[in-house]
Chain A
């Protein structure tokens, strides 16, 4: 595979970082943890040689950041949260509070793994094959995890369905 130069790699990361951050917020339910995870993924992304094996920067960042978030309880003992000194005024620039995003209420009804896969599939548009590759599971595992998640959300989604159809028509 061709080696990406720094600028091209930087462009790729910049093009996808916002979507990945939102996906992480969806998966972990916390902006702070998502931002910390994304920065850890960026640290990994700039390590020598890493970029050459990456086919989709967004999928890779999402997966690496989720791993970092999983380790966050330990890591937070040693590192300082960048938001520690931000006051409410600064945070108000960042849009509505995560608590008020109703899509997150829906996702919280799922297990952590189901949330990760659902967000990867329906927000980042990863195929089941891509999910399987990045999480090191079989395609059928990825498919059935998402199917179980949809089954669990069915009642909530059916309430929304009418609204969606009326908007689409």
Chain B
């Protein structure tokens, strides 16, 4: 998944973001006596919540990789999936959950959320998602804007979401670093950070940067070509910076380069450690962005929104680039005018990695229903899509796009027990996520109010009939 041009000498600087060392608040990486900057100054402090082993039996199990087991079993031990099969025996002392009539799936992973960076209520003081002071702000990190007390996290949990990528907004050409979170309540954002998840970089094509800067501020970029010049200028600077550090760490130069937060992040992309998530609606613009990636030796991990992905689904497949899409949003701006209901299925059919995303505190609560609408539209349009196959759009493919597929996204032995028990077919509007587990811990139970987290903001916020709620 990394560009072939990865420069080994420099991986030390950024390697930690892809490995388990993310948990240790280590100091500077060591390369002889030449030190690279600490790649992980805000380490995850996430600890799994208390859990007990359990065995789910008699459930319709969607593995998440495209397979399905009727009347299947899922055994969870020590927060991990221990065994999945048609009939797993319960080890001694392990609680058995009879899930007859219910469905079990991997937890939903949303690759495109602004929870926390635009926390509810959406007052000006909570507008922390777009650093609209310069078209390239690779130096900002979304995690420093995340308010872990956003009530939207709990609402997403009730919709079966167990992990999500929080992105900066799309007003800038390069908006900054994303962060991948586990959907668990925590006092700090570090307490939600998905251990070992790589960082992402938010880039944006099209109308938004032009509107914010050209129309809004009378400065570049004001055109699509201005956008492209802006990306390329940034990457040229990043290449130079990257080379300077490489020379220094290799001992070819004795001048320790001055640190530059913007270029540090961009270098992380060039070295394959930070994954590019590129807001881009139009087919022709996606093709240009893929060429820019080739010019500078990085990969676009996923296009986001990608309303016209169906027009270049073959190109996405060729480039191994995912498209993260809505089921049916269209028409709210010019670049979204050509939406079709079959978009996600057409991308999938072409062999590209298709993802259902939300970009919405509302939509994130019902991503399973969004997938259901696509299944129906696709089947009606002559593109056969099964339920088990469609679940890849909700967990396995997003996990891949976030670089956490080795830990979550499918119900396979050894992976984290991030899963949902649904009270029926999750592709029905009437179905609820009944129990949601993260690392084997029951973080949400629809039938038990004591297992329904609420944000501080919601506590004692309103009086109803003499009761403070």
Do these two chains interact?
no
B interface with A by C-beta (< 8 Å): none
